[in-house]
Chains A and B, each alone.
Chain A
Amino acid sequence: MSSAVSELRRTPLCDTHSQLKAKLIEFGGWYMPVQYSGILQEHTAVRTAAGLFDVSHMGEIEVRGPDAEKLVNYVSTNNASKLKIGQAHYSGLLYEHGGFVDDILVHKVSDTHFFICVNASNQWKDHEHMELAKLKGNYQAEVEFASERYAQLAIQGPRALATLQKLTSTDLSAIRYYWFVDGQVLNQPARIARTGYTGEDGFEIYVAPEVSNEIWNAVLEAGKEFGILPCGLGARNTLRLEAKMALYDHEITASINPLEADLAWIVKMDKGNFIGRQALEKTAADGITRKLVGFEMKGRGIGRDGYEVWLDGSPAGWVTSGGPSPTLNKNIGLCYLPTEKAVPGVEIQIMIRNSPVDAVTVATPFYKRAKG
């Protein structure tokens, strides 16, 4: 453990996790549950029934004011002008050189108010980045660091809706994917978004920290009949990997741009200027030299984060995330390879403890839920 446990940040649900006998670990400066009953069991619960995650370590930044939309558009890659009130989208915060400051979820609360969910360990940096952009561009907007006002719970899986519906009068089936409603859960104000990081249907709810334990327990009780399980960061990681969702410091970093990360779809070049735009224009014109691609192990072994990827007898890239896929019962991963090789069907080797083990690049996502 890199820091003394006493120095780690805790979510308001930390004692509840201990009571549930979770295994708690250091994660990005937080003391977080990595698993309760077991990663495989929790993963399966989310794919077949429901799982409940404490993701209160995630940060929240609120942008308000007459120039809120302009500022959000200037600091992020997606086009916030396209969002309707009550809609959310995935986006990127970039440096001028085109690398990622963070990946974010932007929610449009009103024409003058945007609510942004950001990664835990990046939240202060994100806030500063946005604050500086505001000052530099003289935008009439307030950028509030709001993380302390929110706990976030994710209820994910095919029975997530039926579970959460017992605790709210908001008609959840009327909320479309990547839309949200400001309603109530257990009669407490809650921002209820149909979003998630698992590749499954589900909801992420933002509530006051003081009521988060009560809501956590109520969700577990409501989902009992479906087989809901509390889930930790371990299952969150295997689930997001199967769905090929990026994890900061793995697929995306300060030295990786969205085109390399196979995230061109969140970059809207037709929306006007934004931080990183010039660099991306140049990158697009020159062509990218490396790109993210999925792989499956063919030989015995698991390609893990940071392992070298070899091509025709030479090192050619690196694994960004890798591990077992409980749903597919294969060992899968994501890696960077030279652009022309970052296509399905290329034979590669992953260097596992100094031995090359055969793998092949594949189409992604590895797992896609049946829409129903």
Chain B
Amino acid sequence: MSYPETYKYTKEHEWVHAEGAQATVGITDHAQHELGDIVFVDLPKVGSQVTKGQTFGSVESVKAVSDIYSPVSGEVTAINELLAKNPEKLNEDPHGDAWLIKVKLGNPGEINELLSAPDYQTYVGAE
């Protein structure tokens, strides 16, 4: 799977797609592949605050629980309801339909500190 050039990435395997002050956050294809069959997704409430580098939820595969770290700071404006009933979508379309949360950015400049698509791909290739 390719990593969209318009997204930014973290070393903890989340992606963020910013459009103005709004951003969409998800986990990468590499992350879903490493996790295996995803069976449960725990997301924050709409209106709660997320902080860059802090956990805001978790993704569970059959075997294990993994924390998700927020790539940006801000207020959660939406969560992906699809994942409550169909967590397996995260294995199928992690960069698209299976986004996790939408965030109103508190500090849009934070985005620039994240990895570009080629840098992330190099990073996971080397990991």
Which residues of A approach B to under 8 Å, CB–CB?
23, 34-35, 38-41, 234, 237-238, 300-302, 304, 323-324, 326, 331, 353
Task: Tell me if B106 is interfacial: C-beta within 8 Å of chain A.
Answer: no
Task: Render B26-70 as a binary contact track against A, CB cut-off 8 A, 1 for contact.
Answer: 000000000011011010000000000000001011110100000
Taking a contact as CB atoms under 8 Å apart, the answer to whether B65 and A304 are in contact is yes
Complex Cα distance, B61 from A34, in Å, reads 13
Chain A min CB distance to B2 (Å): 21
Which residues of B approach A to under 8 Å, CB–CB?
36-37, 39-40, 42, 58, 60-63, 65, 84
Q: How many A-B residue pairs have CB under 8 A?
A: 38
List of B residues within 8 angstroms of A323 by Cβ: 62-63
Taking a contact as CB atoms under 8 Å apart, the answer to whether B42 and A234 are in contact is no
Complex Cα distance, B83 from A56, in Å, reads 38
List of A residues within 8 angstroms of B61 by Cβ: 39
List of B residues within 8 angstroms of A304 by Cβ: 65
Task: Please report whether the interface of chain B is mostly helix, strand, loop or mixed according to DSSP.
Answer: strand
Task: Please report whether the interface of chain A is mostly helix, strand, loop or mixed according to DSSP.
Answer: mixed
Taking a contact as CB atoms under 8 Å apart, the answer to whether A324 and B62 are in contact is yes
Taking a contact as CB atoms under 8 Å apart, the answer to whether B58 and A34 are in contact is no
Partner among A238, A301, A324, A331 whose Cβ is within 8 Å of the Cβ of B42? A301
Taking a contact as CB atoms under 8 Å apart, the answer to whether B36 and A302 are in contact is no
Chain B min CB distance to A39 (Å): 4
| Closest chain A residue to B88, Cβ basis | A40
Complex Cα distance, B36 from A306, in Å, reads 22
Apart from the given pairs A39-B37, A234-B62, A324-B40, 16 other A-B contacts in the complex at a CB distance below 8 Å? A23-B36, A34-B63, A38-B36, A39-B61, A39-B63, A40-B62, A238-B62, A300-B40, A300-B84, A302-B39, A302-B40, A302-B60, A302-B65, A323-B62, A323-B63, A353-B42
